[in-house]
Amino acid sequence: MLPPVDVEQHSRLRLAVAVLWPSFLVAGLIEMGVFALVDPGDLRGFDGLVLDWSPQAVYTVAFLLFWTLVSGAAIMACVLSKAQR
């Protein structure tokens, strides 16, 4: 016999999947667009010095940053849409 389903936990899981999966895809598209125009070897820090990171490190950090920003925007949109109801 299956255990009872916690509706609140199920709805939170659905919201997390509804936010994180599209955000992952959009972050991938943004990353492809940015790095089609920008060479990771040409990036410089705020002090003007060349970053001593491997291209894979730059791609990884940029992807995680893009994913975080897009996920944050999606979560804010969900919260604001629930606040208007």
Specify if 79 maps to a domain. yes
Q: What is the pLDDT of residue 85?
A: 65
Chain centroid to CA 27: 5
Total structural domains within the chain: 1
70, 23 Cβ separation under 8 angstroms = yes
The rounded distance, in Å, linking the Cα atoms of 52 and 58 is 10
The pLDDT value recorded for residue 2 is 63
Question: How many Å apart are CA 35 and CA 77, to the nearest integer?
Answer: 27
Averages of pLDDT over each 10 residues, the chain, 85 residues: 73 89 97 95 86 92 98 93 76
Residue 68 structural domain: 56-85
How large is the greatest C-alpha to C-alpha distance in the chain, in angstroms?
A: 63
pTM: 0.83
Residues 6+ apart with CB under 8 A from 24: 67
Q: Would you call 32 exposed, middle or buried from its count of C-beta atoms within 10 A (0-12, 13-18, 19+)?
A: exposed
Residue 85 lies in a domain: yes
